[in-house]
Amino acid sequence: MTNFSTFKDLLSYCQEHHVSIGEAALEYEVARGERSEADILLGARKILEQMRATIESGLYSDEPSMSGLSGGFSKKVMAFSESPQSFMSSLEHRMIAYALATLEENSRMRKIVACPTAGGSGVVPGVLIALTDEKQIPMPTLEKALLAAGMVGGIVSQRMHLSGAAAGCQAEVGVATGMSAAAIVEALGGTPQQALDAVAIALKNMMGLVCDPVAGLVEVPCVKRNAVAGIHASAAATIALAGIPSFIPLDEIIDAMVSVGQMMPPQLKESAEGGLAKTPTAVSFTERLYGEQPD
């Protein structure tokens, strides 16, 4: 079976064999000969169960992180969903709160699913678990949606390193947003073309996103960035499901992201030497946290 190195190859396979991206991912994993289809789906289910467990653990917790930069955010969003000022849907509130809960648990040093990284670990769970809670997505469909997300991340990872230190946050939260957009389309029965258009639309609008963690911690801006990214992914999926394509092919977008990552200065790639990390508030906090300003 083809080792998908481009999204063009993946789309051709899906169209030729009349399968979704999630189904193609399952067939690919089976063809590798290491696990049966049942084992692969069981693995996907266990990942989804851990995503939910992380969310449920963090959702209503007020416990602060070790730095004090986060804690209690997800609880506040869930409470706000009942406020007269609330204007978003219940699904959107859940997406935001679930992503926050996941990143808050990460900051508390609890168990998470890194998808594709710890810094971007809230987007896919936030989207998928919220979607199934609101839309009653059956588990077999949810498993395929997760596999679709994994296929997207896997192909991107062959072309660029999925780390903020290598290519900025476009490679972490950015890629997670694209993975989530594909998962939404898969879960709602969209076509492979629509799924890849959703990824393309999501990534085009995350391109160039810098990695500028305050005090070098995965909290500011990472926690809230994950929450916003889930809504970004849902917007991209909505546009694609409405039949609006991406003008630039997805493979060309990945090439552009690689190029942008290479042009990005080291100060904006997880070094805490630029961007938000060098604002007066961030510098003051860093000095208090570490006792002195780190070199």
Closest CA to 181 of 237, 122, 115: 237
Domain carrying residue 53: 7-290
- ∠ CA 215-219-224, nearest 5°, is 135
Residue listed under structure tokens 């694609």: 240
200 in a domain, yes or no?
A: yes
Query: What pLDDT score does 294 carry?
Result: 46
- Dihedral pair phi/psi, residue 158, rounded to 5°: -75, -15
Closest CA to 235 of 211, 199, 208: 199
Looking at the 3D structure of the chain, how many domains does it have? 1
Closest CA to 196 of 186, 188, 187: 186
Q: Are the C-beta atoms of 240 and 250 separated by less than 8 Å?
A: no
Distance of CA 104 to the CA centre of its chain: 15
Query: What pLDDT score does 70 carry?
Result: 97
Q: Are the C-beta atoms of 236 and 177 separated by less than 8 Å?
A: yes
Query: What pLDDT score does 292 carry?
Result: 62
Helix (H, G, I), strand (E, B) or coil at 45: helix
2 in a domain, yes or no?
A: no
- β-partners of residue 269 are 211
272 in a domain, yes or no?
A: yes
Domain containing residue 253: CATH number:
1.10.4100
Residue 289 CB partners (closer than 8 Å, separation 6+)? 67, 215
In tens digits, what is the pLDDT along the chain, a chain of 295 residues? 678 999 999 999 999 999 999 999 999 999 998 899 999 999 999 999 999 999 999 999 999 999 999 999 999 999 999 999 999 999 999 999 999 999 999 999 999 999 999 999 999 999 999 999 999 999 999 999 999 999 999 999 999 999 999 999 999 999 999 999 999 999 999 999 999 999 999 999 999 999 999 999 999 999 999 999 999 999 999 999 999 999 999 999 999 999 999 999 999 999 999 999 999 999 999 999 998 654 5
Q: Are the C-beta atoms of 107 and 67 separated by less than 8 Å?
A: yes
1 in a domain, yes or no?
A: no
89 in a domain, yes or no?
A: yes
Query: What pLDDT score does 51 carry?
Result: 98
Residue 49 CB partners (closer than 8 Å, separation 6+)? none
176 in a domain, yes or no?
A: yes
- ∠ CA 64-116-261, nearest 5°, is 105
295 in a domain, yes or no?
A: no
